[in-house]
Amino acid sequence: DTAVSQTPKYLVTQMGNDKSIKCEQNLGHDTMYWYKQDSKKFLKIMFSYNNKELIINETVPNRFSPKSPDKAHLNLHINSLELGDSAVYFCASSPGAGQPQHFGDGTRLSIL
């Protein structure tokens, strides 16, 4: 039983395209997150949502638009993809604020 699941696992696309990544958690958690991991493996928070409400937007370009239809889902839509967007994107969830986060297996985005 996958706790935090992301789709797709791999995404290869051309510069300028628009793409979406989906995330679902079956842990009953209230809080969900998106992270970007760069080529040096550094993990940086992008967005935090609590009960479908945006709590943190860590100065992410507005080409990135998260959407939370319910507290079990947090999807990430990216417009006008750029070369610098190539990275691994991780979704995570936690029971609430200040709690340990549980991560999905990542979506590897490659921009050609």
Closest Cα partner for 23 from 9, 38, 39, 5? 5
Task: Answer positive or negative: Cα dihedral of 7, 69, 42, 100.
Answer: negative
- Tell me: does residue 56 bind other proteins (CB under 8 A): yes
- Tell me: does residue 87 bind other proteins (CB under 8 A): no
User: Which window, 12-20, 21-29, 68-76, 89-97, contacts other proteins (CB under 8 A)?
Assistant: 89-97
Residue 42 burial (CB count, 10 A): 10
- Tell me: does residue 90 bind other proteins (CB under 8 A): yes
- Of the residues 12, 15, 27, 55, which one makes contact with other proteins according to CB under 8 A: 55
